[in-house]
Structure 1
Amino acid sequence: MSASQKPRKLGIAAGSGPMPVALAEAARAAGREVFIIGIKGAAEREIERFPHAWVGIGAMGEFIRLLKDEQCEDVVLIGPIRRPSLSSIIPDKLGRQIMPRVARWMLQGDDGLLRGLSSYLEEEHGLRIVGAHEIAKDLLTPPALLTSTAPNEADERDIDVAIRATLAIGALDIGQGSVACRGIVLALEAAEGTDAMLDRVAGLPAHLRGREGAREGVLVKLSKPGQERRVDLPTLGLTTVEKVAAAGLAGIAAEAGGTLLVDSEAVARAANRAGIFVLGLTPERIAKASK
């Protein structure tokens, strides 16, 4: 393979969860070199299976230096990072220089922060920000039922309710998921994330979560309307399945092509064992419910 044909080296800025490693594995399988920069306090130690470095959340100069030293031409920002308070960030020299911009981006919500950061890295440092789905399309949820268990009529109605709720909070840049049961919204995702929301649902009185001995209610995950799709797509994986099952819910419905899915085969097996469904929602299904 000539130098001109060689795939562009991929830098991965890793937040929490399994997706950074799943992406690195997919990129390497496709013939790409990868270098992972783990965000301290967020990324998992598993990233150390790959060439890597660790940086603090305010060390922007060190972050960019590492990417350039490693000759990373494409960069993916992936994995949630708890939004820090400005007072808790310990910036390096470049971090201090851009702190006023970061403060402005943060006032525009999560999507505004990610848009601002992406534009800054591209326009001022010549890096190309790409989405995980551009590197590995098989990490996206397919438009299909992944499990042997399928939603029943009551589940379909709850999916409709949760779609409308999730689109509403997404339009306000609040969150990317909600839970509905018997036509009632039980929980909305905000800054705490999906796992914490599902823990809250599991702690609700049993009569709110369905009949005793029966699974009722659904989790719906959607991207925010108009969001920057190269970063911060919703994600589901084994932990999501485990927490949905623990909350007594009947299943998961996620936006096909707009939700990252970590190891679809393992997710399907775990969901089948738990007796819950996992469904990829088509754009047509989402649009119909939104009306």
Structure 2
Amino acid sequence: MSAPEGRIVLIAGEGALPVEIARRLHERGTPPVVVTLRGDDGALAPWSEAVVHLRFPSLGRVVREARRRGAERLIMAGHIAKRTIYLLPALFDPLTRSVLSATPRDDHALLGSIVEAFEREGIAVLPYWQILPEFLAPEGRLGSRAPTEAELQDVRYGAEVLSVTLPCSFGQAIVVADRAVVAVEAMEGTDAMIGRCGALSGRGVVVKMMRSDQDLRYDLPTVGPGTIESMRCAGLTCLAVEAGRTLVLEPERTFESADACGIAVWGIRSCPSS
């Protein structure tokens, strides 16, 4: 992919994804203007034109920074804890309050409304996966071990359950053991959901997918070394992710960690097969 033209604002949540995006943009001659709630900018600053820290979510501040710096494009990447929208709403700026008050707070509707708000202000939202195309999970075996038949049966069952939960805008990931649902991801995020499973089952598979009508410009499911470590601690043995619609961060490290732990990593379509 060639370097995007013009300045870009990067709304950077937690995790490695926004750092990798900033680094790629810097290497292509377009270091982003980073707007972030992160407590530190040590990892982002070397790759950024500027870093703007926010104490609270502020869509209006993002728009003002974009206009002040002549940026007409924006990328949203990284995890922002959803609980922040329930904290001190009186401190939010008018644009943020208007979006929150007019939109259901499920992830799909909320993120879509945020994108629409930026586009009304003349700011285009870019699909970040195009900057990291080699991070998209392919179909089939991704590590050294393929799933066992028992694990594949749980993967298939998990995908069937997700086909029901995903249109309701929750349950992007699920843990299944012996065709029983152990845990479903909600607001806490995948790794925290996995963490609950050690005490509940001590075994099982993780299946992670996205709803069919989800906008590929933002909120693509991601996994990485942290996912594998959470699975190891919980005793889970197989990670199935949706091929072509999941980013694997630090793929070499992720697959090496999975191999060392004996965890199978498998890319599936919506109807997985062995």
Q: TM-score normalized by structure 2?
A: 0.89
Aligned 1:26-41 pairs, distance under 5 A: 26-40=24-38
Aligned 1:132-143 pairs, distance under 5 A: 132-143=128-139
Cα 1:191–1:98 change in 2 (3 A) is closer
Alpha-carbon separation, structure 2, partners of 1:25 and 1:97: 30
Give me the CA root mean square deviation.
Answer: 2.2
Deviations 1:186-231 (A, max 9, x none): 1110111111111100122xxx335xxxxxx211110123122211
Deviation at 1:62, TM superposition (A): 2.2
Deviations 1:148-204 (A, max 9, x none): 111010011011011112222211101310011111111110111111111100122
In the other structure, the counterpart of 1:214 is none
1:257 alignment partner, one of 231, 238, 244 = 244
Alpha-carbon separation, structure 2, partners of 1:259 and 1:270: 18
Cα 1:110–1:202 change in 2 (3 A) is same
Alpha-carbon separation, structure 2, partners of 1:97 and 1:22: 29
Q: Is the 8 A contact 1:175 1:224 kept in 2?
A: no
1:176 alignment partner, one of 165, 172, 196 = 172
Alpha-carbon separation, structure 1, partners of 2:46 and 2:227: 24
Range that drifts further, 135-144 or 166-175? 135-144
Deviations 1:79-106 (A, max 9, x none): 12122344513546xx22551332221x
Q: Is the 8 A contact 2:106 2:169 kept in 1?
A: yes
Q: Is the 8 A contact 2:99 2:117 kept in 1?
A: no
Alpha-carbon separation, structure 1, partners of 2:236 and 2:57: 39
Q: Is the 8 A contact 2:77 2:219 kept in 1?
A: yes
1:209 matched to 2:206? The reply is no
In the other structure, the counterpart of 2:88 is 88
1:113 alignment partner, one of 104, 110, 114 = 110
1:223 matched to 2:210? The reply is yes
SS in structure 2 at match of 1:77: strand
Q: Is the 8 A contact 1:218 1:252 kept in 2?
A: yes
Aligned 1:1-291 pairs, distance under 5 A: 7-40=5-38, 45-51=42-48, 52-83=51-82, 84-86=84-86, 88-89=88-89, 91=91, 95-97=93-95, 99-105=97-103, 107-123=104-120, 125-204=121-200, 208-210=201-203, 217-281=204-268, 283=269, 286-287=270-271
Q: Is the 8 A contact 1:175 1:191 kept in 2?
A: no
Cα 1:75–1:146 change in 2 (3 A) is same
The code of the aligned residue for 1:287 comes to C
Q: Show structure 1 runs of 4+ deviating over 6 A.
A: none
Alpha-carbon separation, structure 2, partners of 1:108 and 1:184: 29
Give me the identity figure in percent: 26
Cα 1:45–1:189 change in 2 (3 A) is farther
Q: TM-score normalized by structure 1?
A: 0.84
Deviations 1:228-280 (A, max 9, x none): 22111111011001011111111211011111211111111111111111111
